[in-house]
């Protein structure tokens, strides 16, 4: 365990038990969410590459325009 994580856990242990439980549940859900996103992106790599190729082709054909953040 690294120093920053040790420091965070030391602070968490100072919280009331109910807050520790809530924090632990949140961390576990975030980790599970990250794993789900990793799986989704891994499965969609071919589709994303195809979409990127299509976007680049459209750009080369002059079918795109610059995005002006002030116009959003």
- Cα distance between residue 20 and residue 34, in whole Å: 21
pTM of the model: 0.60
What pLDDT was estimated at residue 41? 87
What pLDDT was estimated at residue 36? 96
- Residue 8 burial (C-beta neighbours within 10 Å; 0-12, 13-18, 19+): middle
Task: Kindly provide the residue ranges of all beta strands, DSSP E only, lying in the chain, ordered along the sequence.
Answer: none
- Cα distance between residue 38 and residue 31, in whole Å: 11
Consecutive sets of 10 residues in the chain, 72 residues long: mean pLDDT of each? 95 98 98 96 91 96 93 86
**Assigned token pair, 68:** 């002006």
What pLDDT was estimated at residue 1? 85
What pLDDT was estimated at residue 37? 94
């Amino acid at each position: 365990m690294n120093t920053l994580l040790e420091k965070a856990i030391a602070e968490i242990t100072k919280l009331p038990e109910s807050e520790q439980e809530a924090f632990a549940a949140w961390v576990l859900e975030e980790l599970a969410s990250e794993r789900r996103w990793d799986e989704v992106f891994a499965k969609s790599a071919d589709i994303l590459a195809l979409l990127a190729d299509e976007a680049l082709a459209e750009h080369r054909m002059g079918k795109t325009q610059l995005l002006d953040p002030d116009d959003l």
